[in-house]
């Protein structure tokens, strides 16, 4: 009975209105696996269509870049939902004390409505769970190396975010 209450409670946390949405639901980990699988199939299918062959290196790179694309989306969600990450970090810390379960395990095993699967607010919770292990994500002030105000730290965070993506994009283009 308490397990059902915990499950419902963790499902409610993703919905801003506090109501459990109706409609099809999917576990976060299952949705993530389906997304990565679709990206891998697209990459390998395109390669086979163009070259009529597979090679081990291409398969490995296809898997790597498929995960990388998903992580890029998650980083964009971090950038877009920075304050939500900070707020949800406290939620996940309290949730861990209440249930004794690891936040990232609870998040990935939670069922979410399919319509929320593409919402950046939903994926910002990945960073909120990660912030339990990395204190630099807990507040904006921690993200800058030498900031004197929240505006400076926020600007520094945006610059480092943009630089990571510029470097990643230039790396992808060289392949």
Domain hosting 126: range is: 2-138
- Quick one: pLDDT at residue 49? 92
112 pLDDT above the threshold of 50: yes
* 167 lies in some domain: no
Instruction: Please provide the distance, in angstroms rounded to a whole number, between the alpha carbons at the two ends of the chain.
Output: 53
pTM assigned to the model: 0.67
Q: How many domains, the chain?
A: 1
In whole angstroms, give the CA distance from residue 126 to residue 1: 27
Q: Which of 70-74, 146-150, 155-159 has the highest mean pLDDT?
A: 70-74
pLDDT at position 23, please? 80
- Domain assignment of residue 61, yes or no: yes
168 located within any domain: no
> Phi/psi of residue 88, each to 5°?
-70, -20
Rounded to 10 degrees, the C-alpha dihedral 123/126/127/131 comes to 160
**Residue appearing with tokens 């696996």:** 33
**How do residues 40-98 score in pLDDT, each as one tens digit?**
999 999 989 998 988 899 899 999 999 999 999 999 998 898 889 888 988 999 999 99
In this predicted structure, what is the pLDDT of residue 160? 55
Identify whether 154 is part of a domain. Answer: no
160 domain-assigned: no
What percentage of the chain exceeds 90 in pLDDT? Answer: 37
Question: Please, are residues 138 and 89 in contact by the beta-carbon 8 Å criterion?
Answer: yes
In a domain, 67, yes or no: yes
Q: What is the pLDDT of residue 9?
A: 52
pLDDT value at residue 35: 94
- Domain-embedded: residue 151: no
Is residue 1 classed as helix, strand or coil in its secondary structure? Answer: coil
Which phi and psi (to 5°) does residue 162 adopt? -65, -40
Asked, for residue 79, whether it belongs to a domain, the answer is yes
């Amino acid at each position: 009975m308490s397990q059902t209450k915990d499950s419902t409670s963790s499902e409610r946390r993703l919905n801003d209105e506090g109501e459990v949405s109706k409609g099809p639901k999917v576990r976060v980990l299952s949705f993530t696996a389906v997304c990565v699988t679709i990206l891998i199939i697209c990459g390998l299918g395109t390669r086979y269509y163009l070259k009529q062959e597979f090679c081990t290196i291409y398969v490995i790179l296809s898997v790597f870049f498929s995960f990388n694309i998903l992580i890029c989306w998650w980083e964009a969600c971090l950038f877009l939902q920075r304050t939500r990450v900070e707020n949800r970090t406290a939620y996940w810390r309290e949730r861990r004390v209440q249930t004794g379960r690891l936040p990232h395990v609870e998040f990935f095993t939670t069922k979410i409505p399919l319509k929320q699967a593409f919402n950046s607010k939903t994926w910002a919770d990945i960073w909120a769970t990660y912030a339990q292990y990395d204190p630099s994500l807990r507040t904006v002030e921690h993200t800058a190396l030498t900031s004197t105000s929240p505006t400076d730290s926020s600007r520094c965070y945006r610059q480092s975010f943009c630089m990571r993506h510029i470097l990643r994009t230039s790396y992808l283009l060289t392949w």
